Structure 1
Amino acid sequence: MRGAAAIVGIGQTPYYKRGTSPEPELKLALRAITAAAEDAGIDVRDIDGFVSYASERSDAPKLMPALGTRECSFSSLVWFHGGALPATLNLAAMAIMSGQAEIVAVYRSMAETSSQRLRVMVAQNDTSAQYLVNGLDSPAQILALRAQRLMEYHGVPQSALLATTQASYFHAHNNPRAYGRNIEITDEVYANARMISEPYRLFDCSRENDGAACVILVSAERAKDLKQKPAYVLSAPMGTMEGGGALEENWRPYYATAGQKELADRMWRESGYGPKDVDVAQVYMNMNAMGIGSMIDHGFFSFEEAGEFCTLDNLIAPTGRLPINTSGGDLGEGFIHGMGLIPEAVRQIRGTSTNPVPDAKLSLVTGGPGDIMSSTALLGSEETL
């Protein structure tokens, strides 16, 4: 699989405040897919594969009439939530490698008025009785348990959470697409923000937006003849660690990171690279402490090193040790189940990010941390093959 498929097109709609999109989810998906095809120089009618994840409702049969699809030969949805984000690249690459499809669109669309994701999918379907009887009825409360353990048991300082938030908004300031581009997170603004669920304050939490994003994948051979610089999929494993799964905080051993260590180890083996080789990372942050846990799982630093490593200077482009979320990410740019992270990872390979990391060759994308099933992916330039 290593380097057999590449991302050659990216497309995004604007981010809207949750519930305010002027268009329904299906139309947002169509706009993002069409934009990605135009970016790649591909006739949108030639897309023959569609892959999404989580609670996506804009499925292939709904998309095909409007796109004018000539033939759909592959269509699939990856289970679970934001943890499945990079796994979509795995599935698309396998479809291309096995000859099931030639041009695959990976996409995600969200519009609260048409899907009611938060009102129905999260509030009613995703919060099990085990959580509810213990007074936990939101993702922020559930993930706060793990953040408290990360801080109290493992000693990760509050300053690390502050730095990840400040880095996200620092990058968002330079991104005209970012919903949070006009917000400056000073120490005082951060400290005075309202408490959501201890230790999470307002700016520790991801945004909830309406919008859509898409990337187009083709074979590595075909990618050479298209107009954009390819971003090759070097590895994109998915899975659940031993002791994981739907056990409602009863894993053994209970983890305070992201539950992605085994995934990261597989990715490093499959790609032939390691954490010291990565130039830039787009880290899924439904809550910032979970993103810190993901970086620990990927081997960028240990629990003991988190405070020293997670400083604003270390986490920002162009010169940080590990620039993260260079579009603003889920905290500062906008949140559509993390899908905005993949286009930004590609822009870093192309050199077109609004916060470019000079000569970036290896670009990481992590999936939703702490999900029942998760995934991670490493994208590379041609020199990394």
Structure 2
Amino acid sequence: MGIGATEFSKDSGRSELKLAVEAVRAALADAGLAPSDVDGLVTFTMDTSTEIAVARELGVPELTYFGQVGYGGGAACGIVQQAVLAVDAGLADVVVCYRALNERSGRRFGQVSHALAGAPTSSGVDAGWHYPMGLATPAAMVAMVAQRYLHEYGGSTEDFGRVAVASRRHAATNPHAWFHKRPITLADHQASRWISEPLRLLDCCQESDGAVALVVTSLDRARDLRQPPAVVAATAQGSGPDQYVMTSYYRDDVAGLPEMGVVARQLWRRSGYAPDDVRVAVLYDHFTPYVLMQLEALGFCPRGEAGRFLADGAIEPGGRLVLNPHGGQLGEAYIHGVNGIAEAVRQVRGTAVNQVPDLGPVLVTAGTGVPTSALILCGV
């Protein structure tokens, strides 16, 4: 993979289309390719820059494959899966995945979307049931799940805080992270204001402007490019029973992520790896409670045991499972998880700022609480 990104900021000062083009150009330069080599583009359904617009601005002459993946952050690894499938099927030779957003200076995802509540779609109908109850922001929706998780398993908000502390510790040593040189303590987490109980401010990912792009091609071609290949060992998407978005309210078991279980079973089977083989995980950390639930759904610890897993320092530098060594969305930037894939590529290459030695395969997950995706990267 070639990887490229803009700077991460709170006010980019330019359009999302310009951000996308900058990131794609950087990814192509990283791979040693030109726009004329590109014949496929994949992005999120939420991206405001269409594939043909990006191709036009880049000077890509022809596209033989283009696609979009839905469900917000759940698309992050799904766009790579689409690219892999296209290359493997011979539909395209060089596919670029991208995500660009002005999520701080433009549309802020943490605010109520009045348009969604009235949308003449199935998603609008779904929102019409829970918006009147006050469940109208992602934080409010996730807080309901988090409260149920604490009730069922007897944990505390300090368990959530350990995720935030670890992410910010890594971000503090990453010059590209928004929170570079700004670590936090567990006391800082516990003192941060409530957003929607039991979620505090430091349980919620930041809002960022920026873009990230990834180049996907065949292994044979990748061997001849500028950078050492990062091999996609497995990809997967998953949706669970009674699936909704952010919170699936009508399941018998609200405090779990069965969609991530669907993904996990595919990943381990297709890759031949197991949780014990993974030393670095880039888990989608839009809200800290969902990191705990992912650890359980992926098989790193039994159900309800994630709090104890974290208390032993497992996700800290040098721990059993180093988590988000770039700082994650809590510490580096919120680019809908695609910046996490770029970090996984750097780890495989051995060029990451917080490089983990002898890392083996790297696991990356996408947004949770929604239909989701994940992938495993490894060296040649």
Q: TM-score, normalised by structure 2?
A: 0.93
Query: Could you say what secondary structure the match of 2:139 adopts?
Result: helix
**In structure 2, C-alpha distance between the alignment counterparts of 1:157 and 1:120, rounded to whole Å:** 26
In the alignment, is the contact (CA less than 8 A) between 1:163 and 1:312 conserved in 2? Answer: no
Cα 1:257–1:48 change in 2 (3 A) is same
Q: Is the 8 A contact 1:327 1:355 kept in 2?
A: yes
Give how far 1:214 is off: 0.7
* Aligned match of 1:90: 81
The equivalent residue for 1:192 is 191
2:18 aligns to what SS in structure 1?
Answer: helix
Instruction: Tell me how far 1:281 sits from its aligned partner.
Output: 0.6
Partner of 1:224: 223
Structure 1 partner of 2:324: 325
| Contact 2:108–2:207 (Cα < 8 Å) also in 1 | no
Using the TM superposition, give the Cα deviation of residue 63 of structure 1 relative to its aligned residue in structure 2, in angstroms: 1.2
Letter in 1 for 2:280: V
Cα distance in structure 1, aligned partners of 2:315 and 2:104: 35
Is 1:361–1:380's contact at 8 Å kept on the other side of the alignment?
yes
Q: Do the aligned residues in 1 keep the contact of 2:234 with 2:375 (CA within 8 Å)?
A: yes
Q: Residue in 1 aligned with 2:263?
A: 263
Alignment partners' CA distance in 2, 1:131 and 1:377: 32
Structure 1 equivalent of residue 204 of structure 2 = 205
Alignment correspondent of 1:12? 5
2:303 and 2:71 mapped to 1: Cα distance? 28
Distance change (3 Å), C-alpha of 1:288 and 1:247: closer
Query: C-alpha deviations, 1:264-314, integer Å up to 9, x for none?
Result: 011111111111111201100110101111111000012343222113732
Would the alpha carbon gap of residues 39 and 75 (structure 1) be closer, same or farther in structure 2, given more than 3 Å must change?
A: same
- Structure 2 counterpart of 1:102, which letter? D
Alpha carbons 2:112, 2:136 under 8 Å: kept: no
> Aligned partners of 2:257 and 2:346: how far apart in 1?
25
The 3 A distance-change label for structure 1 pair 232 and 138 is same
Query: What is the identity, as a one-letter code, of the residue corresponding to 2:72?
Result: H
Q: How far has the Cα of 1:225 moved from its partner?
A: 1.1
Alignment of 1:380 onto 2:378: yes
- Aligned equivalents of 1:285 and 1:246: distance in 2? 16
Q: CA deviation at 1:137?
A: 1.6
Report the aligned-residue RMSD.
2.0
SS of equivalent to 2:133: coil
Structure 2 residue matching 1:377: 3-state secondary structure: strand
Matched residue of 2:323: which SS?
coil
* 3-state SS of 1:331 partner: helix
Query: Is the CA contact 1:243–1:253 (under 8 Å) kept in the aligned structure 2?
Result: no
Q: Is the Cα–Cα contact under 8 Å of residues 234 and 267 in structure 2 kept in the other structure?
A: yes
| Aligned partners of 1:351 and 1:360 also within 8 Å | no
In the TM superposition, residue 149 of structure 1 has moved relative to its aligned partner by: 1.2
1:21 pairs, out of 12, 15, 19, with: 12
Identify the residue that residue 44 of structure 1 maps to in structure 2: 35
Whole-Å separation in 2 of the counterparts to 1:45 and 1:292 = 43
Contact 1:164-1:311 within 8 A present in 2 as well: no
State TM-score, norm by structure 1. 0.92
Task: Please list every run of 5 or more consecutive structure 2 residues that lacks an aligned counterpart in the other structure.
Answer: 117-122
Aligned position for 1:240: 239
- Count of aligned pairs between the two proteins: 371
Residues 210 and 121 from structure 1, CA distance in 2 versus in 1: closer, same or farther, beyond 3 angstroms? farther
Q: Secondary structure at the match of 1:212?
A: strand
Q: Give the Å deviation of 1:79.
A: 1.4
Aligned to 1:138: 137
State the Cα deviation string for residues 189-241 of structure 1 (Å, max 9, x = none).
11111100111111100011110001100001111111211111111111212
Letter matched to residue 287 of structure 2:
M
The question of whether the paired residues in 2 share the 8 Å contact of 1:53 and 1:79 is answered with: yes
Contact 1:111 1:211 in 2 (8 A): yes
Amino acid at match of 2:272: G
SS in structure 1 opposite 2:43? strand
The SS at the match of 1:38 is: helix
